[in-house]
A and B are shown apart, each in its own frame.
Chain A
Amino acid sequence: MITREEEATLLARVVAGDHDAFAEVMRAHEDRVFSVCLRIVGDRERALDVTQETFLTVFRKASQFQGRSALGTWIYRIAVNRCYDDLRKAKRQRSDPLPDQSDPPDDAALDAVESAGLRPELRRALAALPPDFRAAVVLSDVEGFSMPEAAEALGVPVGTVKSRVFRGRRLLAEALGNQTAT
């Protein structure tokens, strides 16, 4: 288990230009970052882009890491913020009027749904949650973050995470129930 001091040293090496150190940081965290991003944005292509943006930000801001939190938590905080950026961008693009928008979802869209590792109805229900509830539920119930870890990654108090998880689960269950009934 890497200590906080070792993490700070690793980041210092990144800042000093040690590309091996940056590769080590990526290797340690890229899979989980990708998984978190995929669950939140729901699409593999976008999740890959968001993962890339996350590590770009990690690289650019490595000098700002002061070791007050675990390095992983710091990275996941950046990842969640990048996910929020992506969701805002996707929402803006959806609200733009498009011609010929009446076609039903195509095979590529369905593939994207399946590739997020979630059953279609679950993915739809999760996608319908407000982003902050979705992120809390993903971190806690899908990725297995403890409440303190999720709180740090989301930048909110533990009580807020608990509330979001509770309300997010309720909304999710209600959405799944509605899908079953229809």
Chain B
Amino acid sequence: MRERERELIAALAEGSLEDETEARALLEASPEARAEYQLQRHALEALSTASPTEMTDLERARLHGELWTRLRAEKAKTRSTVGIYGWSLAAAALFVVVGLAAVLGGGLLGGQGAATDTFEEIASGLSDTTAAAEMATEETQAGEEAEAFAAGDSESAAVTEEAQDYFEEEATRLRSDESLGRAADGGDEDSGCLERAELFDHEVVDVVGEDPAALVEGRYLAAVPAGAEIEPATPIHFVDSDTCELVYTAG
């Protein structure tokens, strides 16, 4: 079945055609098309029974509480200060408790707004809590930490030296790997990602970073000009597969 015919059948099944004449004629003429149309309709009818899904207030509070906890813990780990980490855990635990209490005790009637207000209140009002006041006596002010933990400092705004070293090592490995396959992974998915990174006429030769022991987080597509031999001078581009942004070019 040709692509045009598939598109017609799909659109007819969806009810999105302004003029169904051509599609109806296709069904009339082709048993295969009729059978395909029935399958498309069957699937769409089944999927239309899906009921809306929403987070409960408890789930929302948990999402916000745990997210905040992890963000603070990351920042505390970056600073490598045990004392602050300990207070961060205490403050984060307080955050979760207060968040749940607010949602369960008075926020339920307010629905979503209450749950997210809690997130904002605690995110911005840490300096008003007892724990935060105590934290203020520590080496770093709690209020500054609450603002600064999200800061676009040099580490988040650019590739770190550690990451650069990692990408350079991967590039060296790729250049010396004679058995390397072309378009090693992903196919359509990753080629679309390369295009969004404005690497046209490039192909993926490897995917790096998936190893939990890797120095960088995330999954990166290693790309070179399509069909090119990977030689010492060949630039190798590393594209973040989440955001499809070019993060580093080696060579």
Contacts and interface: CB of A to CB of B under 8 A. Distances in A.
B67 A77 contact: no
**Residue of A56, A62, A119, A156 ringed by the most chain B CB atoms within 10 A:** A156
Interface in A30-53: 30-31, 34-35, 38-39, 44, 48, 51-52
A89 B2 CA distance: 37
A155 interface: yes
A23 interface: yes
Contacts of B59: 34, 44, 48
Contacts of B77: none
Given A68-B196, A116-B53, A155-B192, A19 B240 contact: no
Interface of B: 3, 6-7, 9-10, 13, 36, 38-40, 42-44, 46-47, 49-55, 59-60, 62-64, 66-67, 70-71, 112, 116, 119-120, 123-124, 146-152, 156-158, 188-190, 192-193, 196, 217-219, 240-245, 247
Given A48-B62, A118-B50, A173-B46, 19 more contacts: A17-B150, A17-B152, A19-B146, A23-B119, A26-B64, A34-B59, A52-B67, A56-B71, A63-B157, A64-B243, A77-B244, A78-B242, A119-B49, A142-B47, A160-B188, A165-B10, A170-B36, A176-B42, A176-B46
24 contacts: A14-B150, A14-B152, A15-B151, A16-B152, A17-B152, A23-B119, A31-B112, A48-B62, A55-B63, A60-B156, A61-B245, A63-B158, A122-B47, A137-B47, A154-B192, A155-B244, A157-B192, A160-B188, A166-B6, A170-B43, A172-B46, A173-B39, A173-B40, A173-B46
